Amino acid sequence: MAELRIGDTSVTGPVHVQPGLATYTVVLSMGFGRRVCGRVGTGVGFDVFPFVNSNEQHVRHGATLKLTGDTYPLANTQEHWAIEGREILREANASEYAENPDYVSGIGMEAHSPAVYGKDKDKSLAYKATATPKGGSMYEHPDFTAPQQWGMTVDLNSCIGCNACVVACQSENNIPIVGKDQVLRGREMHWIRLDRYFSSASNDRSDIPEEVQVSFQGMACTHCEMAPCETVCPVNATVHDEQGLNVMAYNRCVGTRYCANNCPYKVRRFNFFDWHKREIGKFYLGPFGPVDEPELPRMQRNPDVTVRMRGVMEKCTYCVQRIEAAKIRQKSLARDSDAIEVPDGTIQTACQQVCPTRAITFGDITQPDSAVSLLKASDRNYSVLGYLNIRPRTTYLSKLRNPNPKMPDAFAMPYTREDYESRYGHHPGEHESHGTEHAESDANTTVHH
């Protein structure tokens, strides 16, 4: 805790150190610390409006900050802000992309260990989406028989980290609010999280950097075609449907949480309580606490989405309720004809619908001219953790930066790339050549070191 004083006005509150903030600068968030707004906002945060006056409404000078010696817990889900040289996020300068449009394929483990498609590696995206390639596996995987297969792309070049997708998903899919105490226990429930990474010219992580580049990456269930969560579920509660979606059968789930342990993206959420029936802060009262929520919040639920109960795992569904509604509507329009395929652009997921920069694209990946297929064919398209051979249906378009070479802060390559190169000791061209060699090698070849 610290006391912030400007003249005769002072406010005491917690301090959160933020990468990229200028020295001797304090940023205050308005709108908190309200006293008469009901159970939702009363007592949340600290009121800093005493610092605002008619002459200085946005910026004030001459402040002093002094630690009080007290502590205050802050619930933060973004402690993993350092990229640490990992290839989860891929960036390049526009000049590098112009010279080498295929730079994405030379970054990451996939450059040395591409997804194993075996004899099917040269097949089209539409073929791979409907007939799961066996690759080097000893098991036969079922084909996806539905005429339409769904997929998504997220353009990191367009994402501005506004959080609109998180809020829209929460509203559309009846995702509960669990409160600060449960977030501190790691029990947040939102299906989409917005990973925010800060990178700096210095790779020394002993201190929080001041000069940073910021990158955002929305992460939800990627609906892997060879989903690792499905193989460990003892009751088949998470399975694949004929449209290629990784779906949940809530009535089967017994809450082992094996799927969450085996998910490489950590996007599954577990209901530790009946969040919708208990008030925030009264989860541990059991039968002595209120057992149902007020009528008004109950009326805001989406009737097309199941309200999950305690002991059940949940995650992103690609807004399957919207998919099914569009299919029903198209069948009614088709009448006796065979034109039952949903036209491209008809279905929008909740996150896609609200994205102000149109960073999210969803559609049928079996149609070569659909918007999502065209983006997946882009040179910038890549899979996060693709080397695991799980073939996610959600892929990402790498971020391009365009620094002015005449400016003093111009950089030869994005800081995330510098961190990656310094960690693995590769130069872009060298790494890409390795990736090409491995990609062209036969999937069944054994390499001895």
Cβ-Cβ contacts under 8 Å for 154 (sequence gap 6 or more):
217, 218, 359, 360, 394, 395, 396, 397
Q: How many CB atoms are closer than 10 A to CB 300?
A: 8
Query: pLDDT tens digits for 302-328?
Result: 999 999 999 999 999 999 999 999 999
User: 270, 307, 275, 308: which is closest to 291 by C-alpha?
Assistant: 275
The pLDDT of residue 72: 93
Q: How far is residue 447's CA from residue 449's CA, in Å, rounded to a whole number?
A: 7
* Percent of the chain with pLDDT strictly greater than 90: 46
CB within 8 A of 78, min separation 6: which ones?
195, 196
Q: Which residues contact 40 (CB under 8 A, 6 or more apart)?
A: none
Running DSSP on this structure, what letter comes out for residue 431? H
262 contacts 229 by C-beta, under 8 angstroms: yes
Which tens digit of pLDDT belongs to each residue from 33-75? Answer: 888 877 777 778 899 989 988 888 889 888 999 999 999 999 9
Q: Which of 230, 252, 255 is closest to 241 using CA atoms?
A: 230
The strand pair at 246-248 and 238-240 is best described as antiparallel
The residue extents of the domains of the chain are: 1-74, 91-401
Structural contact between residues 295 and 326, judged by C-beta atoms closer than 8 angstroms: no
Pick the CATH number of 91-401 from 2.60.40.10, 3.30.70.20, 3.40.50.620, 3.30.2130.10: 3.30.70.20
Cα torsion 246, 229, 128, 110: sign: positive
Q: Give the model confidence (pLDDT) of 77-117 as tens digits.
A: 887 778 888 889 999 999 989 998 888 888 877 666 666 66
- Cα separation of 371 and 45, whole Å? 43
Average pLDDT over residues 208-230: 90
The whole-model pTM stands at 0.86
DSSP 97-157: HHH-TTGGGGSSGGGTS----GGGTTS-HHHHHHS---TT-SSPPPP--SS--EEEEEETT
pLDDT at 436: 40
Structure tokens at 72: 């205050």
pLDDT of residue 428: 44
Amino acid in the structure at residue 129: A
